Structure 1
């Protein structure tokens, strides 16, 4: 098992040792993934009948890190758990099993760099690795503040009243015109969206409704619950660890004269709609970018069931315009009878 000590960590170009986090991510993560794969192979060494495999619950694999390594990865522990979970989900699919990874800090300094184990059923989840609060610097430890550079006279700057650091001497300037803002990510053009008409319903395989969410905008993302604000979806499915943090993007569209949604699969697992299957783009970027993702999308009309991964969850876009609302007793309207007119034209 790899161990990072001051004697084994490479030196930087400026002297000293390479940060533990850099060495850990470069050398230890591949070994952890291999160890998790071996653990999954051992966990499935005993043959299980196919009819019982689907009944097995989601299995948690615990990676216990040495205290110094745990402190080094603490700021990115949630992202690291997500990356390792994606890896074990792919390996577990060989056995039609679902796994996830949780990180834990070892209780003693002399522990190995890492070890992996299966979380026993019924035991509570390990406490997440929390980043240590930064130590407040003392007055003696703080370096003296360098003197601020003298600012040039306003008359010597190209634009009076503007900071010199924003002035590009090679830029073409037109007085009175503000610089252009950076271009926003390109999104598919969407028709006028009918707010309040559609909702997303999560279901069991037998059609039992679990929860529903209103689709309130033309482009809506769907994924599992997460604390990472950069990857948090508009609709967050509960108890859906098999789903990526941003699994789907629902884009309102018209196809052949009917309304529906272009469903982009941005996550890891494939999605299935009827006989159609779309692979996942496994997009990890924080900004939502759908341009060039057409190969990972399909058009889904309202009412079509969508299965995420091999065993779900199952979601369905449903139109709610025809739903009945119970506001009290029904109003009975009686049309008045029309008196017979003897002068009207008779037929037959």
Structure 2
């Protein structure tokens, strides 16, 4: 049994929503607990000829009721994400595992508990979102009284005006008139700023370990690109697929080229479950669904990143950064050594007072 309570941090004047803190803090802990359960399940040596005869093993993650309701809308995607993680861990023992989520029966239960379902038992019931509370009763409508129709002034006879003694207004004889020139039209609305042309072949995505060792690099060839770990699912496959990164979602980042004040850079959208860190900025994950990517409305899950800034995914990396090839060409080779040093000695004033 694992009892884990996520930290609470302020969010818009109140406590942070449970779903955000659960995805950021509890999901990595659940993955570690699932890995421990698999290691304990395989601590006893089993002959190789019997390992392949073992059935698919189900790992059950029982969530506290409030946490289960918080993830109910994305329970299927979360089960798929955790199943991918345990399948990779189980491959170390040539075993197949899957994950099922379950709602605890009491509010006093720990945030989550990981257990192995005994063979022959039925599948746990899927988590279903509770029905929304009934809407408040509609306010009683008071009968409305139609307002009296305003009285209109009588139409004057032809040739007369409504105001006695007032004749038709005359044109100012002193006004300047230019024949053949029409009245000025309203000023046109300012045109939208042009979209910056993306310099293909200029930028690369570098992938580094926590110690700064470069692991791989990818050319960024399009104005908008997605980044994630390798997968066979075409609905979640990213443009730039990282290898050896089990903690990275299959679609983790979206990079959109946007210049600011003439400086090149990218708006980085966090599409996955784990938060990303850029300097002292933390960007929560949007947990984007599979299928066509729509980044509209994901502004709170994005930040602008200049080339060279480190982007750490999750709590343990990897670290990715965007390299600007044009800026790298301008850097001097050899660190600036080997130049000519010039010392300028000011001339001596012959009339100045000399001491010593």
Fold shared, TM-score > 0.5 on shorter chain = no
Larger Rg: 2
TM-score normalised by structure 1 residue count:
0.44
TM-score normalised by structure 2 residue count:
0.43
